[in-house]
Copies of this chain bind each other. A is one copy, B any other.
Amino acid sequence: MAYIAIEDGIPGILGLMMFRPETTKPLRELAEVLLRDNNTLTRGDRETIAAFVSSRNDCKFCQLTHTAAAAEHMGGTEADYALINAVKADFQSSHISPKLKTLLNIAGKVQMGGKHVREDDVAAARSEGASDQEIHDTVLIAAVFCMFNRYVDGLATWQPEDPEVYRPIGKLMAHSGYTGTN
């Protein structure tokens, strides 16, 4: 049971979002802008960064829903899901672009703390063609999921064991977005 009185049977952040609509509005807008708005990073890449950071923070709800969102943006096949799982397990050996590997390296440093990101981490991303905005958005996505993960776990929200629970939620996030207006 969650630490505060939120509606029963609603997993992860969803119950918290109903509890406090005033904070939910900017949180939803932030996710929409970062993960879905026009960007030179694909939606699949951005959701992969979100799933990866959530995995490092061991937040089941965020990790599994954003894994599903990432896989759905890539086509939604079992191979897509397997690719995101491989990234979370060991991104350096996974079949993703060298550029995305350098961005995940930065995201992993941000997960540990902002000061862990070093000049050579950024130089490596730049040498694979990452732009200033792509580096900015990678850092901010990683930072934002360090927030979401703490919010979801810090209030002990309900997160069922069955991984199948999370797939439809991630599909909805991928296809309908975060603000409920598109």
A128 lies within 8 A of chain B by Cβ = no
> Does B4 contact A135, Cβ atoms closer than 8 Å?
yes
A165 at the interface (CB under 8 A from B): no
Contact of A3 among B5, B16, B122 (CB under 8 A): B122
Q: Which residues of the partner chain B approach A151 to less than 8 Å between Cβ atoms?
A: 114, 139-140, 143
Q: Residues on A close to B: CB < 8 A? A: 3-5, 16, 19-20, 22-23, 25-27, 29-30, 33-34, 37, 57-59, 106, 109-110, 113-115, 117, 119, 122, 132-133, 135-137, 139-140, 142-144, 146-156
Q: List 22 A-B contacts (CB under 8 A).
A: A4-B135, A20-B137, A20-B140, A25-B29, A27-B30, A59-B114, A110-B154, A114-B150, A114-B154, A115-B153, A117-B153, A117-B156, A139-B150, A139-B151, A139-B155, A142-B150, A142-B154, A143-B146, A143-B150, A144-B147, A146-B146, A146-B147
